[in-house]
Chain A
């Protein structure tokens, strides 16, 4: 049986950063990854998701802008080729805009710099959604400050995302196959 690789941003990001063990553990869900900061982040995410669903607006802390037809926790998948599937869950999608909500000390710029928003743009495009831009809203719950960063999801950015996904997926998939980890760890 041919093994298939389910690529997600968080797993590939760990792999691309050289944290191979973490990537493998995340891929096969070998450990529960949670810190107090992550739990707090999840709490905020849940509150914001509910707010958006009930009010069809961004949370007040992020400007309270009206949204047209927001979809929260939008789960998307796409079979890129016979061995590779790309998956992702977008915090909020509305009328061509990807919204990502973050908490903690890292700035919205640092999140905008990484591939996550571009990969979500790619998933949307492949699933025939309109995609123009991504907006990362960050709330630092420690100092109560907010910032936000924008990324235009152009065709060049989509190509960059696809190249990144294919490169690191291929590396990790080969590693898992060569070391027989699909069979060993799937159990």
Chain B
């Protein structure tokens, strides 16, 4: 399969996609852009899968390989351990964590009645981001 990546054409899709604010047909440009992104992601994931297979064939204990500009690492993510039997873990090996979360129902009632937030609770500054999804 021959893949030709014309970055200028891809950039055009992005530029033309801005017209979605003017005409609904412009969504076709964004759909094409998303399709290209999906295909590239598939190819990238396939490349990672093939690299993993090849690495483990060469050495089942493979951890990394690096060149001048690329480093490929093979590692686990997430917590290394978990508690599987709550009552039997030695006490000195666990930390008890108390987690607080906002009772939004109570909070909304308070705001309605008082027109402001109670002391001790603030609104987080959340940055807005654009996301583009294809509707099913």
Chain A residues engaging chain B, CB cutoff 8 angstroms: 62-63, 107-109, 112, 137, 146-152, 154, 156-157
How many residue pairs link A and B with beta carbons under 8 A? The number is 41
Residue contact A63 to B61, C-beta cutoff 8 Å = yes
Find out whether the CB atom of B61 lies under 8 angstroms from the CB atom of A150.
no
Q: Which residues of B contact A62 (CB under 8 A)?
A: 61
- Closest residue of chain B to A148 (Cβ to Cβ) is B61
User: Are A149 and B64 in contact, with the CB atoms below 8 A?
Assistant: yes
Expressed in whole angstroms, the Cα–Cα distance for A148 and B67 within the complex equals: 15
Q: Which residue of B lies closest to A157 (CB)?
A: B68
Q: Nearest Cβ distance between residue A108 and chain B, in whole angstroms?
A: 5
Selected contact of A154 from candidates B65, B67, B73, CB within 8 Å: B67
Please report which residues of chain B, range 59-99, place their CB below 8 angstroms from some CB of chain A when the two chains form the complex: 59-68, 73, 75
Which chain B residue shows the least CB distance to A152? B67
Q: Given contacts A108-B64, A137-B61, could you give 12 more A-B pairs where the C-beta distance is less than 8 Å?
A: A63-B61, A107-B63, A108-B63, A147-B61, A147-B63, A148-B61, A150-B62, A150-B65, A151-B65, A151-B66, A152-B67, A154-B68
Shortest C-beta distance, B100 to chain A (Å), equals: 36
Closest B-chain residue to A108, C-beta based? Answer: B63
